[in-house]
Structure 1
């Protein structure tokens, strides 16, 4: 049985105003959820898995985003971008994915009693390494996901400060409610910055700086992007994806490839 971690419950007891803010903007920051000891322990575990190159993982060279190494043989080509299957790879990662305070906050937003964690999407430690990190363009996580609806929430645990300089997330507020024409997207489903539909959308972007220990909850259907890490220190973030029982992965797709994990309120 996974040991239950205790976070900062006062910061996860959502008010009606916070729930409404999420529904309008598509995101919400929960401040100072992880204490210093928890952050240190998690960062040390992330670094150990990186140093030992414990699989599975994704390389920066695999994604071919702007700024990433052009191949595995290029300079920095072995730089790890994501430690995959975080829930399965270590009990400590699993304990935070199941943290009652996070599950309670998500259940409030989704208005449900049971939250399901989908192990097939995100379920990872995102890293941005100095020098070889890449830029992520404007996208919805749901672009290649297959579910009965779009009501999925990502929980992003900041294990250190996240600012513009080290690639903090940018969000287009309210974009989880947008209808976007296919012509406004490129072949990889990134927003085309030259498309007339997007000229008024992109100036609405907000940088979402996070302090170490903050948790960002955001709709997986919200357009977001991130820059490179231009500092000398790595950035680590844990990311998990959740939904209510009314949202179902479509059989036969990657979204349904591993059984989902039900997390009832405790």
Structure 2
């Protein structure tokens, strides 16, 4: 698959693109079955809901141990981390050759998986999950430039009530002032300047097998899950070969997987 010139222009303008019905439902179900087993048994490394909102900017930027460090049996898992090495089904999706030409177009470079960031099964558990505030993923990542995108796979239907992604189109191209963000670098919602931008948000309801590719600087958020069913998604991040992790940062502490170019 390749994007048309119009689609590629839309991505660069908006900062995201949706690929409908990209992965067959049977493959989504197989990935979901493995993910549910790892979630049920709380197989480390994981991130929990405990203390998530209290973590400092320094913690999110510097800490390289992705284990939760928790021994609570009733903890709520927010995400499974380091999924590339967990199961062959996860690895195969992250190395999928059908989506690679699209990623090559968007990055205008050879595709490299960075296992330091995302590389996760994301959850929004019913009754326990929190809303995700407006943010840019790139804020805690340390690279030579911004040529990174994330690939989000819906493993089941996603909509407003269970926490579908929302974006501010074009925000990846905007220059922001430091005071537009709080101390943890979330985009503030209490200023008129920001409110005018937030009013332009778009919601992206998804069906099982849909994929969203979005830029590392694109502002995005999600509601909490107010339904009775867990929302489980798969997200990983890729960069261009010319984009280098800054030595000594968390971004440089995990392996990178160079993918072969495909036509």
Cα deviation, 1:144-186, whole Å, max 9, x if unaligned, reads 1100111111000100011001000000000000111001100
Instruction: Please tell me whether residue 29 in structure 1 is matched to residue 18 in structure 2.
Output: yes
Q: If the length of structure 1 is used for normalisation, what is the TM-score?
A: 0.89
Q: CA deviation at 1:77?
A: 6.2
Mapping for residues 115-126 of structure 1, pairs under 5 Å: 115-126=111-122
Contact in 2 for aligned 1:60/1:77 (Cα 8 Å): no
Q: Which residue is 1:188 aligned to? A: 184
Instruction: Please tell me whether residue 199 in structure 1 is matched to residue 195 in structure 2.
Output: yes
Instruction: Please tell me whether residue 102 in structure 1 is matched to residue 62 in structure 2.
Output: no
Q: Which residue is 1:60 aligned to? A: 49
Within 2, Cα distance between the matches of 1:179 and 1:30?
A: 28
Residue 39 of structure 1 is aligned with which of 8, 28, 32? 28
> How many residues get paired?
247
Within 2, Cα distance between the matches of 1:160 and 1:101?
A: 20
Within 1, Cα distance between the matches of 2:92 and 2:21?
A: 18
For structure 2, the 5+ residue unaligned runs are 55-69
Cα deviation, 1:32-89, whole Å, max 9, x if unaligned, reads 0111211111111111101111111000123128xxxxxx899x96000100001011
Please identify runs of 4+ aligned residues in structure 1 that moved more than 4 A. none
For structure 1, the 5+ residue unaligned runs are 1-11, 66-71
Mapping for residues 45-84 of structure 1, pairs under 5 Å: 45-64=34-53, 78-84=75-81
Q: Which residue is 2:208 aligned to? A: 212
Within 2, Cα distance between the matches of 1:18 and 1:215?
A: 14
Q: Which residue is 1:170 aligned to? A: 166
Which secondary structure state, in structure 2, belongs to the residue aligned with residue 198 of structure 1?
A: helix
Instruction: Please tell me whether residue 250 in structure 1 is matched to residue 246 in structure 2.
Output: yes
Cα deviation, 1:207-229, whole Å, max 9, x if unaligned, reads 11111100100001100000111
Within 1, Cα distance between the matches of 2:195 and 2:124?
A: 29
Q: Which residue is 1:16 aligned to? A: 5
Within 2, Cα distance between the matches of 1:109 and 1:164?
A: 27
Q: Which residue is 2:83 aligned to? A: 86
Within 2, Cα distance between the matches of 1:230 and 1:149?
A: 37
Which secondary structure state, in structure 1, belongs to the residue aligned with residue 199 of structure 2?
A: helix
Q: Which residue is 2:137 aligned to? A: 141
Within 1, Cα distance between the matches of 2:20 and 2:111?
A: 22
Q: If the length of structure 2 is used for normalisation, what is the TM-score?
A: 0.90
In 2 relative to 1, CA 77–179 (structure 1 residues): closer, same or farther, beyond 3 Å? farther
Contact in 2 for aligned 1:61/1:77 (Cα 8 Å): no
Within 2, Cα distance between the matches of 1:110 and 1:186?
A: 30
